[in-house]
Amino acid sequence: MPLPLRSKGPRRPKGFTLVEALVTLVMLSMVALGLAGSMHTIGQAQTRLAARQARLQAMETTSRVLQQLLGEPVRETLEPARDAPGWPQRRIRFSLKDDAIEWVGVMPPRPGMGGPAEFRLALEQDSVRAGVRHLVLRHRPRAEVNQGVKFDSWDSAQAETLAAEVQALRIQVRSERPAGWSVNMPWDDAWRPDWPEWVRDVPQWIRIELADALGPWPPIMIAVRPTPPSAARLQRAVIGGGQVD
């Protein structure tokens, strides 16, 4: 029996047609663009997360350092110079004005330094970028001062940046009537941006508020527990990694 003959119609070419290839390429391009956008979004999220973590770490470190150094100032009083207001009454070596605070404290022992020291906390201009300021802690060994309570220039003191690119800083203190304040003068125990130069005591509380480009930081509240000068002198000084009495 003869086999039936197959009709010889046009054969379908093997593989993709040009239209199918173009459609496939367009779809692959869209997938690639979507993946690239997702990776970019993930990268931005990681960058923001890293910046947020660095900011939180800076907040924690700054608060811890200031709690330790400002929370235990040395109640050191000296006789002011003869031409200073209030002479011959002894006055405290502690200054707060224009959101800059200066005090005598105790540097925790570490290689190369330690013991009684002088400190200054304030905003300082960036050395390169105009309009950019940082929260800087300056410190140096305590100077042997026999007369006069003002601190010398801080230009040569060692500087450490606690917070970068700070946009605002406010330092306030409060206290009950301090020693040396005349009983005939009223005293306001509310928060104030300065501290009288002619008293013989440090404030009881210090509040530090600052803000950066991302907004304000949580306020740093410091309860002040003064250290007597005699106890500060008993602190061991650290020189070149070794300790000396």
Which pLDDT tens digit goes with each residue over 155-193? 999 999 999 999 999 999 999 998 878 888 899 999 999
Residues 6+ apart with CB under 8 A from 195: 94, 95, 96, 97, 173, 202, 203
Q: What is the pLDDT of residues 75-104, one digit of tens each?
A: 877 765 555 554 445 577 899 999 999 999
200: left (phi over 0), alpha (psi -120 to 50) or beta: alpha
Residue 230 lies in a domain: no
Q: Which of 169, 165, 167 is nearest to 128 (CA)?
A: 165
Block residue for tokens 């930081």:
217
Number of domains in the chain: 1
**Regions of the chain short of the pLDDT cut 70:** 1-16, 40, 43-44, 79-90, 110-114, 145-149, 229-245
The domain of 127 spans 53-177+189-223
Residue 24, pLDDT score: 75
Residue 53, pLDDT score: 86
Residue 33 lies in a domain: no
Residue 30 lies in a domain: no
Residue 58 lies in a domain: yes
Residue 236 lies in a domain: no
Residue 118 lies in a domain: yes
Q: At CA 194, angle to CA 193 and CA 200, rounded to 5?
A: 145
Residue 115, pLDDT score: 81
Residue 209 lies in a domain: yes
Residue 125 lies in a domain: yes
Residue 5, pLDDT score: 52
53: left (phi over 0), alpha (psi -120 to 50) or beta: alpha
**Would you say 104 and 73 are in contact if contact means Cβ atoms under 8 Å apart?**
yes
Interatomic CA distance for residues 244 and 236, integer angstroms:
6
Counting beta carbons within 10 angstroms of the beta carbon of residue 208, is it exposed (0 to 12), middle (13 to 18) or buried (19 or more)? Answer: buried
Residue 203, pLDDT score: 95
